[in-house]
Structure 1
């Protein structure tokens, strides 16, 4: 496998290792993104999942990369599977409309606020423009058709979730408030000095106005932009509390025996909508600890007590071995087995929208 193909294969920040291991010596001296007190998920230098599994190392990465089993995605992807949508400018009151842009980028509209998650409009999820995972389809919403964005949630720093080029465009145009876990603000500020950022730790809550509160909650994942900064910034899920109900959003997570779903239900009670990843899960021996599959997502949906659900993180960037249609097929099978109808949980394609009913409806 040559350098270019290796870059095409490797998501999740590890591609930067091929560019010279930038920051390896710095990493030995301490955490370049965050300093703070020791906690149950921070040891003074790196973050970790309490009682959880650590991400696999470089040897296992090479074993995966050279082990075969990758299902090639069609090129081009059938255009009929994707649409372009122009969202409403505002959605007021207790209405809740979610539009899939692609991968983990979703536009959440409710209570007169426009909230964007993990915005990526770039052509590649990569630290470089010439290589790395490339979009299989255009964004489901053209950037110029986006309504004014009030809040941006960045769940963690992997390149398919934290895209500096897109954040620059959003800050220049809308000056949104950026909500992100500990350490990620430093990464953003290195390239975008003037940002309105709210930095959160697990358990924190933020009053966002318009009757909306955002809670930062645990999930089972990791972080890296290169080989020298592994787990130096925190990852998180978020609960958006509104007058019309609570919205649970996870950018990436392993199932981890469903603990964070059960804890969520105990802490937050009824959830109107759960937005969770269902892709990037093969091979299981490598991905299981950090990326849940559709069966685990549906199990977590049941444990969370959510009334409605949206599956994301599939069909846009090929990061792992499964085929482009494997996640929605596996999702349909898991929903049938669990007795969950398509009116309750949807795996949205780019451009598709879901106007979520009231939980009591």
Structure 2
């Protein structure tokens, strides 16, 4: 029988920059959303076409021998280990389990952006194809309590995966998402009911409480990205990052960046924020000031080329090292690479580049590789 738990809103902690109505809302109440910072740049559809026509392609096939690609191992989900656990499913998908509290059977299990499909896109017929398999099937997962969705793009919100998850759970699972994503989830046709979904705005915290598995706090926090599953619904739903915070003074905390940019650059000769004419996104330092330090952060490092087109919404490995420092993470793991090629970036970004560049960027900032910053295999569980 699935675990039942209460969902209790908490008083939000917000940065000094917060205003009413919120600066990321378009309309009151909001009908769409925007990135409210100078750090965000968007080339728009015309800019993407111009980039595709004018930027020399650097298409490198996925290595047929898989040399240099991330390894895949059968997950044990950290069984027998106690602590805050994060098991990488691939791309931006993780299974989080909080530390088991005294007298409780286990911790809370939270799926982040679960995607198990071979292809991500409309109707499963178009869109990028997975080149590294997930480490297991949905049916192999342990009992899941909650699902957090960072935004509604197909490589983060996958219909077949959610259909299988609901079948496995007998529909007993709760969903947490940004504003206006509830209508997307309920409208997928997989059986998600409105009362299973809790929508949150940036900086909104909630408390989950269960007599069986204890408690945990979730906080919806900002990200610099976009949303939309159709060309006529762009930015109509809110994108976000997430914080998972265990209770008590010694409770562990995790930051999941979702899909985010850090600082827009205007030229592919400016590979990172260090050369950018724009300031970095201030949201991450605000997250670090209010909720840091974090014991573990999950940060995107792939699908970022070409920078002139994608830097506003996708972090480079160098950018994610800056995010690691801004949020005050004690340990950060790279994600959003090694599984699915971006439909646009596939023509410009070799799939073996992100992890190499992440390591170079970390060491360039004096960070201890494998201790403060690192990578893990798909299926591996990181415990802090």
- TM-score, reference length from structure 2: 0.78
Cα deviation, residue 38, structure 1? 5.1
Cα 1:137–1:233 shift into 2, 3 Å: same
Residues 82 and 140, structure 1, Cα contact 8 Å, conserved in 2:
no
Match of 1:194 in 2: 192
Match of 1:239 in 2: 243
The CA distance in 2 between the partners of 1:194 and 1:324, in whole Å, is: 35
Q: Establish whether residue 266 from structure 1 lines up as the match of residue 261 from structure 2.
A: no
The CA distance in 2 between the partners of 1:285 and 1:316, in whole Å, is: 23
Match of 1:18 in 2: none
The CA distance in 2 between the partners of 1:305 and 1:113, in whole Å, is: 24
Residues 91 and 113, structure 1, Cα contact 8 Å, conserved in 2:
no
Indicate the SS of the match to 1:59. helix
The CA distance in 1 between the partners of 2:354 and 2:78, in whole Å, is: 31
Structure 1: where are the runs of 5+ without partners?
Answer: 1-36, 357-361
Aligned residues: 319
Aligned-residue RMSD, C-alpha: 2.0
Match of 1:84 in 2: 73
- Identify which of 32, 51, 62 aligns with 2:37: 51
- Mean CA deviation greater in 164-173 or 38-47: 38-47
Indicate the SS of the match to 2:32. coil
* Equivalent runs, 1:83-162 vs 2, <5 Å: 83-88=72-77, 95-111=83-99, 112-162=107-157
Cα deviation, residue 92, structure 1? 7.6
Cα deviation, residue 46, structure 1? 1.6
The CA distance in 1 between the partners of 2:130 and 2:90, in whole Å, is: 9
The CA distance in 1 between the partners of 2:260 and 2:298, in whole Å, is: 12
- TM-score, reference length from structure 1: 0.83
Residues 201 and 220, structure 2, Cα contact 8 Å, conserved in 1:
yes
Cα deviation, residue 344, structure 1? 2.0
For residues 260-307 of structure 1, what are the alpha-carbon distances to aligned partners after superposition, in whole Å with 9 as ceiling and x for unaligned? Answer: 221012111321111111111100000111111111111111121111
Residues 120 and 163, structure 1, Cα contact 8 Å, conserved in 2:
yes
Cα deviation, residue 171, structure 1? 1.7
Residues 149 and 177, structure 2, Cα contact 8 Å, conserved in 1:
yes
Cα 1:132–1:151 shift into 2, 3 Å: same
